[in-house]
């Protein structure tokens, strides 16, 4: 699935390889996406696909281990559109806690989440706090070195800049051409076509699921995903990997 | 405790008055603070004191009802300093859910949180999502009109500007002179004096409690609270009330 | 808010002051109230107001630290009246656990709850048991010295006696003249007037919220709060403080 | 196990018999005990044995259905003595909720708990409140008729009086001769003999498990169970059944 | 209730006896049943009655301690039939965890569940996994020796064989003549009579409660309980005890 | 990632396509794996890789929608080996509930889990029961048609037979040559080489994590994964797809 090479994925390692890896690094990259509507033409897996491919790219660039993708995140506000799936925040919080406790027991101490979905941000940050406290009670060695970092690939300044150049204010904030472009780059065979109303709602804050669908009837938020191309996707992917790889290195280097 | 007058506090109303209020408004202002160390001279209740007094000011300015202050929030990273108290994120999430469900059953639909503590933000937003879904299942009338909004008083541009003018880069990000000033305005009898090392740590991200105390040994994050005065506090309070009152009105006016 | 002086409130201390305090005492006073209807003339915050003011008085009398007030308790049976708020028992239990674990980590060992609401009693006691077990697992020093005590200010014999003298059987058991009087003493500006049916329901046990409202249509339980005066409030306050201060001293002295 | 006849136990009915029963009554008797140390000579099952046998007696006297005994309750403070078992309060609360929701779906509306253990009281009452709210959300017919009642058999005035006559102040408050006598009446083959120190601790409040064992080294609280006889047990049993049967009838008759 | 003698029941021991027992064995037998419809003639307590009597028999045969019976298990799919009770799986999981943690603290390490109900199997096994992890965090001595085993008495080959001989394909899979026979052996006074449609549904998988009742309108699954006799019950009981006693010994002997 | 074609993956659909799909089918295939050690040469993602590829194959063969893979399951007993990750059973139960509730709201009614890990079985089945009850309370149309099915690909008779032919008793029960072969077929570039002790432990039951590692020091359970080849993997994959496709069709056809 990685277009560019052979990153070190946890799923493709043996436990002996992980044991060896831990001698040189206690860091791991954790991709997290979502399973939710992305407008008439966007893939339901957009956020997971983007997070996963970029995480693999960053893993390759930094020789870091990449954990399994969290495919379903916090997307309750999208659940009036069929195919959307969501964990409750209270559940996602426990999932993150369990993931990190498992890895912390083995010696991992730096957790770098590459995130593809704005709806995950709050719960992830809450989960980090909950997890620090949980890990502190387990009396693991150097528990106070446990650090989590959240990196939203689409918020990265290099990516943000490129999206702005390519799409201006037609980028919008959900089902954006930039995220759709990345999925087109990864799955060119799954480029979808559907009529897109040129009038697209925007600016309404996000509340509950019924309210969301009332205000965003086709699921897009101010975006024009018809602008996306696989080539844009490659550029955005490369920009994301380049700048997030630096972020990861910096994250490891600090305490 | 409100220095300026007589807002409509839920705690000082009867249920009949609330019943009447609901005929003209379904909005309510919810102050939320924290109980945590604020450096050698800052009050442990700083965040709750600030949120409460500003909420009362906004309530008075907008004739809105003001709910009871949430005194203890999410401050796990401060708990290595004695006197700090914290809910786990998973607990705070349930608290918010229970608060809002109670009020929603009575007919409230717009919940405007005035927040005094950055550590609450993630959990509050996660709780809003959880609550929309919970309320949707209760089959209340117009459940889809339920809306929550988070307003961090210290992030407000008018306040932020004033703090910058008064303190420049000595504002810092925890135990700031601006929040200390507001508490001095409210409780001039509780202005504290203690030696403050002019070298103050800053820039280290927030992880767990032990890690926090290692990096911020006296509890301050880049701030010089000795600059605070009660008069500054009054100005900051007034700036906050003025601009947040507008935010609240705007929040009510939208859907 | 304290009518009589300057107790040692956690919210008005610095962490350094708490550190010093812990060298002479590991006790803390925790006020807990409720946010619930108190009949046509009683304040929704009655139970929190009473618990808080008395806790401050006791704190002053005993030089004990007073923690932040728990404003919202277990009042599910009042939630058919607008303005009432409640935590579920399962939530309140976690809140208490989190409060006490935070404080226990810092060295507090004796937790003295001054309670203003009968509906909190069961959940508080259950929470104490849960918390002892939780704290025991944390391997804190002298964890076995952890002790919680519940003091219902209105059940205190001196207070009870005075209420009986003042109001006889018109005291009732909810929205009582004695608790209303204490709020009038604290907030004379918030004395409310409303018609009170001289026939007031009483004697029906408390079950669910709908059942409660059916049997107690105006919210009172056998009480005549029109008898309350601020002067009574002062007397009741003083009686409560005097006798609860002794209870606290005794609590500290035993093991 | 019932010494006196053939009560209507849920476990010995078919579902068709329950269906028929519900046409004449929506009440059910729920015995709840505990599994905990009862001093050197008391049975670990004492509280469950007493609650169960008395519940069956009351069921027989009132032609009421008797549910299955909750054998393990809230006895965290006894868990330093081997053989003691306990649910956490947060677990017991869910157990009660699940029991009552199951029965409420079938049409039961009056739940009368006969309790053999003081440690259960707080959690049971908290669970009742939680359950009323849960059932209210299920939209069952006549949900507002749901009523729970807690009857501590040993607190009943008739029983209390008899215990006082038989044992005076050697009754104590845990591993009492009266509860031991009831178990001797039910299980005469399991009367135990062990040295009992005539000096028995009393008066120390109950906190955590380690604290409890320090203060009550053999498990008794102020009691002299050597006074118990099976004949006393029969008298206490009969007093309990007679007076609790009246309580149950009264409970059904009110709303 | 045991037809054959005097097993060592935890409920009939003192804590001193348990202390002594632990010096020779760290094993305990835990009976778990259910409270659910068993067709027109089967007792609602069938699964608990069978598990309890067989557990006592095995306890007697092996001189093992027998814990209190879990009377209510996971029977959500039966709850459309009045009298059925169920814990949610998430609740039962906590119950098992609490039971085993209590016992593990006292030194028990081998937990042998004798189960009377297929619906409990999945949750029990999930609970074992959860409990191993919980106990590992408690730093108990020899925590890694903790072992749980599930024994479904009706699946035992000796029992299964006998049931097949006695009833052939009229054994069915719920409200079976074999389990009914065991209850007849234990409670001959509670043998029920009701018309049984010779056409009995079978083969439909188990989903939710409404679906179950649609497909199994009288509650039986392919069984003809009219074939049951108390004598069969005795034979089945004896076969179960004999073979499960061996299983228990073997379980203790392995690690 | 699918070696054979283009199944209908939820992640590669738009919400409009899902809406259309629901008009012809309410069924969905859900792959669930695990992230756990698989011996010295097996991939940590083995169970997820196998479940995912087979689910895609079955989706293609049956024109069924395939949901996102659950990558991390219940593998607590493997967590002493680095790289293993696990949800607690109580967490996985909530994850499954949230997944299915999301999909049920949109109209899905038949959930067919293709599972790659024995450790998931108990929790999945418990979660199904919990979910039926949760969905029943949501008042969705035709909620009683909700059906879940668990299909362990490796237990399928056709697969089982083939594995036996290929590997005989060297198949073992964890890190088996058959599952390793399937991963070699999917990821030929990730075939690992490591010394395998010809003496491999087997027959010890699974308890906690420390106990597991003591008895299975290199992680294998009785298996010889050196026998695996990518060609075997293809055959096993094809056998699994062929027979599970029939199972799915049959599952849809029944009620």
Residues facing B221 on adjacent strands: B174
As a whole number, mean pLDDT of residues E231-237 equals 98
As a whole number, mean pLDDT of residues B17-37 equals 98
> How many C-beta atoms surround the C-beta of residue F202 within 10 A?
14
* Interface with chain F: mutation pick from A22, A48, A55, A85, highest number of F CBs within 10 Å: A85
pLDDT band for E4, please (50, 70, 90 cuts): very low
Write down the pLDDT at residue D254: 74
> How many C-beta atoms surround the C-beta of residue D198 within 10 A?
8
As a whole number, mean pLDDT of residues F144-168 equals 97
**What's the rounded Cα separation, in Å, for the pair F196 and D68?**
54
Write down the pLDDT at residue E22: 97
**What's the rounded Cα separation, in Å, for the pair E159 and A88?**
45
* Interface with chain A: mutation pick from B129, B150, B217, highest number of A CBs within 10 Å: B129
- Which is nearest to A124 in space by CA: A144, A146, A152, A163? A152
pLDDT band for C2, please (50, 70, 90 cuts): very low
CB C110 within 8 A of CB C27: yes
B91 — contact with chain A (CB < 8 Å)?
A: no
Whether residue D6 is predicted with pLDDT greater than 90 in this model: the reply is no
Q: Report which DSSP code applies to A19.
A: H
Put simply, the answer to whether A45 touches F67 (Cβ < 8 Å) is no
Whether residue F5 is predicted with pLDDT greater than 50 in this model: the reply is no
Put simply, the answer to whether F149 touches E122 (Cβ < 8 Å) is no
CB B218 within 8 A of CB B163: no
Whether residue B146 is predicted with pLDDT greater than 80 in this model: the reply is yes
Per-residue burial over D85-123, b = 16 or more CB atoms within 10 Å of its CB, e = otherwise: bbbbbbbbbbbbbbbbbbbbbbbbbbbbbbbbbbbbbbb
* Interface with chain F: mutation pick from E126, E134, E150, E203, highest number of F CBs within 10 Å: E126
Distance from the D248 Cα atom to the nearest Cα atom in chain C, whole angstroms: 14
**Roughly what angle, to the nearest 10 degrees, separates helices C89-106 and C121-136?**
40
Length of chain E: 255
> How many C-beta atoms surround the C-beta of residue D23 within 10 A?
8
Nearest to A90 among B124, B130, B143 (CB): B130
Put simply, the answer to whether F146 touches E207 (Cβ < 8 Å) is yes
Residue E109's H or E segment, with its range, is none
Whether residue B223 is predicted with pLDDT greater than 90 in this model: the reply is yes
pLDDT band for E255, please (50, 70, 90 cuts): low
As a whole number, mean pLDDT of residues E156-171 equals 96
Put simply, the answer to whether E146 touches F207 (Cβ < 8 Å) is yes
Outline where DSSP puts E strands in chain D: 8-9, 27-32, 65-66, 110-115, 147-152
Whole-number percent of chain D with pLDDT over 90? 96
Q: With contacts defined as CB-CB under 8 Å, which chain B residues touch C111?
A: none
CB-facing half-sphere around the CA of A3: CA atoms within 13 A: 19
- Which is nearest to D159 in space by CA: D179, D144, D133, D188? D179
Whether residue A11 is predicted with pLDDT greater than 60 in this model: the reply is yes
As a whole number, mean pLDDT of residues E224-236 equals 98
Higher per-residue pLDDT: F4 or B234: B234
Task: Give the CA diameter of chain D.
Answer: 57
Cα C51 to its chain centre, rounded Å, is 4
Q: Dihedral (C-alpha) C150, C151, C154, C155: value to the nearest 10 degrees?
A: 90
CB B116 within 8 A of CB B51: yes
**What's the rounded Cα separation, in Å, for the pair E205 and F112?**
14
pLDDT tens digits, A206-215: 999 999 999 9
pLDDT tens digits, F175-202: 999 999 999 999 999 999 999 999 999 9
- Which is nearest to C52 in space by CA: B119, B188, B52? B52
Output the six-digit token pair for B76: 């796990």
Residues facing B65 on adjacent strands: B8, B28
Nearest to F16 among A35, A40, A98 (CB): A40
pTM above 0.95, yes or no: yes
CB-facing half-sphere around the CA of B246: CA atoms within 13 A: 8
Whether residue C5 is predicted with pLDDT greater than 60 in this model: the reply is no
Output the six-digit token pair for D182: 């009831």
Whether residue E72 is predicted with pLDDT greater than 90 in this model: the reply is yes
DSSP D39-106: TTTB-TTHHHHHHHHHHHHHHHHHT-EE---B-----GGGTTSTT-B---HHHHHHHHHHHHHHHHHH
Residue C240's H or E segment, with its range, is helix C230-253
Q: Residue E219 contacts by C-beta under 8 Å, 6 or more apart in sequence? A: D15, E37, E38, E39, E40, E42, E78, E81, E174, E175, E213
Output the six-digit token pair for C163: 């209420």
What are the CA-CA distances from residue C167 to residues C41, C173, C229, D217 (Å)? 17, 12, 11, 47
Radius of gyration of the CA atoms of chain A, in A: 18
Write down the pLDDT at residue A30: 98
Secondary structure (3-state) at F30: strand
**What's the rounded Cα separation, in Å, for the pair E230 and E217?**
26
Whether residue C189 is predicted with pLDDT greater than 60 in this model: the reply is yes
Whether residue A194 is predicted with pLDDT greater than 70 in this model: the reply is yes
**What's the rounded Cα separation, in Å, for the pair D107 and D98?**
14
Whether residue E14 is predicted with pLDDT greater than 80 in this model: the reply is yes
Higher per-residue pLDDT: A5 or B239: B239
Per-residue burial over B130-146, b = 16 or more CB atoms within 10 Å of its CB, e = otherwise: bbbbbbbeeebeebbbb
Secondary structure (3-state) at F139: coil
Put simply, the answer to whether A76 touches B132 (Cβ < 8 Å) is yes
Distance from the A137 Cα atom to the nearest Cα atom in chain F, whole angstroms: 17
As a whole number, mean pLDDT of residues F226-255 equals 95
| Contacting subunits of E (3+ beta carbon pairs below 8 A) | D, F
- With 0-12 / 13-18 / 19 or more C-beta atoms within 10 angstroms meaning exposed / middle / buried, residue D138 is exposed
pLDDT band for A254, please (50, 70, 90 cuts): confident
* Interface with chain D: mutation pick from C115, C148, C207, C213, highest number of D CBs within 10 Å: C207
- Nearest Cα residue in chain E from D90: E94
Write down the pLDDT at residue A175: 98
Write down the pLDDT at residue F139: 87
What are the CA-CA distances from residue E53 to residues A55, B6, D218, E252 (Å)? 58, 70, 32, 21
Whether residue D4 is predicted with pLDDT greater than 80 in this model: the reply is no
**How many DSSP H helices and E strands does chain A contain?**
8, 5
Average pLDDT over all residues of chain B: 96
Write down the pLDDT at residue D101: 98
Nearest to F93 among E89, E135, E214 (CB): E89
Task: Give the CA diameter of chain C.
Answer: 57
**What's the rounded Cα separation, in Å, for the pair A209 and C191?**
43
Q: Under the phi-then-psi rule, with left for phi > 0, alpha for psi from -120 to 50, and beta for the rest, what region is C5?
A: left
Write down the pLDDT at residue B3: 40
Whether residue C187 is predicted with pLDDT greater than 50 in this model: the reply is yes
Q: Which residues 120-139 of D have a C-beta within 8 angstroms of C?
A: 121-130, 132-133, 135-136
- With 0-12 / 13-18 / 19 or more C-beta atoms within 10 angstroms meaning exposed / middle / buried, residue B68 is buried
As a whole number, mean pLDDT of residues E152-159 equals 96
pLDDT tens digits, D33-75: 999 999 999 999 999 999 999 999 999 999 999 999 999 999 9
Secondary structure (3-state) at F174: strand
**Roughly what angle, to the nearest 10 degrees, separates helices B89-106 and A121-136?**
130
As a whole number, mean pLDDT of residues F58-80 equals 98
| Contacting subunits of B (3+ beta carbon pairs below 8 A) | A, C
pLDDT tens digits, C97-151: 999 999 999 999 999 999 999 999 999 999 999 999 999 999 899 999 999 999 9
Write down the pLDDT at residue C3: 40
As a whole number, mean pLDDT of residues C143-172 equals 97
CB B71 within 8 A of CB C69: yes
Whether residue D166 is predicted with pLDDT greater than 60 in this model: the reply is yes
CB-facing half-sphere around the CA of C205: CA atoms within 13 A: 17
- Which is nearest to C43 in space by CA: C7, C71, C9? C71
**What's the rounded Cα separation, in Å, for the pair A142 and C58?**
43
As a whole number, mean pLDDT of residues A111-116 equals 98
Whole-number percent of chain A with pLDDT over 70? 97
Nearest to D207 among C130, C132, C211 (CB): C132
**What's the rounded Cα separation, in Å, for the pair F241 and F55?**
8
**Roughly what angle, to the nearest 10 degrees, separates helices E89-106 and E121-136?**
40
Q: What is the CATH number of domain A8-252?
A: 3.40.50.10310
Average pLDDT over all residues of chain C: 96
Radius of gyration of the CA atoms of chain E, in A: 18
DSSP B206-246: P--HHHHHHHSTTS-BS--GGG--HHHHHHHHHHHHHHHHH
pLDDT tens digits, C58-103: 999 999 999 999 999 999 999 999 999 999 999 999 999 999 999 9
Whether residue B254 is predicted with pLDDT greater than 90 in this model: the reply is no
Whole-number percent of chain C with pLDDT over 70? 97
CB E29 within 8 A of CB E55: yes
CB-facing half-sphere around the CA of D185: CA atoms within 13 A: 23
Average pLDDT over all residues of chain F: 96
Nearest to F76 among E93, E133, E255 (CB): E133
Outline where DSSP puts E strands in chain C: 8-9, 27-32, 65-66, 110-115, 147-152
């Amino acid at each position: 699935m990685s277009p560019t090479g052979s990153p070190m994925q946890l799923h493709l390692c043996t436990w002996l390889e992980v044991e060896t890896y831990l001698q040189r690094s206690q860091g791991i990259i954790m991709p997290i996406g979502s399973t939710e509507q992305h407008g008439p033409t966007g893939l339901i897996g957009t956020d997971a696909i983007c997070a996963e491919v970029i995480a693999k790219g960053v893993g390759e660039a930094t020789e870091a281990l990449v954990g399994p993708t969290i495919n379903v995140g916090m997307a309750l506000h999208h659940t009036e559109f069929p195919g959307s799936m969501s964990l409750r925040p209270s559940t996602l919080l426990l999932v993150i806690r369990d993931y990190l406790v498992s890895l912390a027991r083995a010696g991992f101490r730096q957790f770098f989440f590459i995130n593809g979905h704005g709806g995950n941000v709050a719960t992830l940050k809450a989960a980090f706090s909950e997890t620090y406290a949980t890990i502190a009670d387990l009396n693991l060695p150097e528990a106070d070195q446990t650090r989590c970092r959240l990196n939203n690939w689409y918020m990265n300044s290099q990516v943000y800049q490129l999206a702005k150049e390519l799409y201006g204010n037609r980028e919008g904030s959900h089902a954006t051409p930039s995220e759709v472009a990345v999925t087109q780059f990864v799955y060119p065979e799954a480029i979808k076509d559907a009529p897109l109303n040129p009038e697209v709602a925007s600016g309404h804050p996000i509340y509950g699921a019924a309210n969301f669908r009332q205000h965003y009837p086709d699921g897009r938020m101010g975006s024009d995903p018809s602008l996306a191309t696989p080539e844009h996707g490659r550029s955005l992917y490369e920009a994301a990997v380049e700048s997030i790889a630096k972020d990861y290195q910096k994250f490891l280097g600090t305490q």
